[in-house]
Amino acid sequence: MGIRENIQEINKNKEAVTLRAGRQSGEVLLVAVTKTRTAEEINEAIDAGITDIGENKVQEIMDKFDSVKPVRWHMIGHLQTNKVKYIIDKVAMIHSVDSFRLAEEINRRAEQHNLVMDILVQVNSAQEESKFGITSAETGELITAILENCPNIRIRGLMCIAPFEDNPEDVRIYFREVKELFDQYVQHSHAALDFRYLSMGMSHDYEAAIMEGSNMIRVGTAIFGERNYQIQG
């Protein structure tokens, strides 16, 4: 199957699961994860209806930015403080904020560009050492610090990468924990803390994530096929 057919298939699945979960049609946004993909492949996905793409490396965003058709770019990978300046005027949202130091730098660069950056706080609810993100318990402290010190940041929600399990049903508890945290903030939303996005679910676990309340799924492999990092270099 080609990129277009894969996107149609995922959209169909996403819609079916959304309704099965008792949620509203169209509530879940598909972010196509385009890391290692060429601008041509990405443009094919955009022609097939993709409006949002996710990259996990600053360098790839910079390399491809001018060759990709107009689309919303999401930074979904670990972001080093010294690289914020390269993407601050390119991305619509940064999903991977997990330290106050990073938030401060995003705020500083956003102010220089006279913009307000939308961010998500990355929560590592399974507390895996190999993953970035903060624990659920640390989330409140980081959010308070950002609210008090970073006027050029708007906190839009939470992001979570679940551990890999052969059976995606096994990671639902991690998604559920992040959803519960998300709901607490939704109830207390205001201008700087406008909680709306819960970014959870990848190719192999997006259905489980939607069942647990995700409204933004980040899907790469199921759209573009397996990644080949060797060729990419």
Ligand X SMILES: *Cc1c(COP(=O)(O)O)cnc(C)c1O
- Given the rule CB under 6 A, which of 66-74, 170-178, 181-189, 217-225 is the region that contacts ligand X? 217-225
When asked if residue 13 is in the footprint of ligand X (CB under 6 A), the reply is no
Q: Measured at CB, which residue is nearest to ligand X?
A: 220
Cβ distance to ligand X smaller for residue 53 or 152: 53
Among 6, 18, 56, 214, binds ligand X (CB under 6 A): 56
Token output for 154: 């708007």
- Given the rule CB under 6 A, which of 123-131, 137-145, 189-197, 214-222 is the region that contacts ligand X? 214-222
Angle between helices 3-20 and 39-47 (to 10 degrees): 50
Cβ distance to ligand X smaller for residue 139 or 152: 139
- Those residues whose C-beta lies under 8 Å from the C-beta of residue 194, and which sit 6 or more positions away, are 154, 155, 156
Cβ distance to ligand X smaller for residue 35 or 172: 35
- Those residues whose C-beta lies under 8 Å from the C-beta of residue 19, and which sit 6 or more positions away, are 25
Among 11, 99, 127, 203, binds ligand X (CB under 6 A): 203
Q: Least distance (Å) from ligand X to the CB of residue 196?
A: 19
Which has the closest alpha carbon to 201: 160, 155, 173? 160
Q: Least distance (Å) from ligand X to the CB of residue 151?
A: 27
- Residues 24-43, mask of contacts with ligand X (x by CB under 6 A): ---------x-x--------
Residue 54, beta-bridge partner list: 33, 74
When asked if residue 11 is in the footprint of ligand X (CB under 6 A), the reply is no
Angle at CA 193, nearest 5°, toward 148 and 108?
50
When asked if residue 14 is in the footprint of ligand X (CB under 6 A), the reply is no
Q: Least distance (Å) from ligand X to the CB of residue 173?
A: 19
When asked if residue 157 is in the footprint of ligand X (CB under 6 A), the reply is no
CA dist 232 → 37, 44, 69, 228 (Å): 9, 19, 21, 7
Token output for 12: 């169909």
- DSSP 8-state code for residue 56: S
Q: Least distance (Å) from ligand X to the CB of residue 81?
A: 18
Torsion sign over Cα 198, 217, 130, 105: negative
Which has the closest alpha carbon to 156: 187, 117, 124, 125? 117
Cβ distance to ligand X smaller for residue 50 or 222: 222
**By the criterion CB under 6 A, which residues form the site for ligand X?**
33, 35, 56, 76-77, 161, 202-203, 218-222
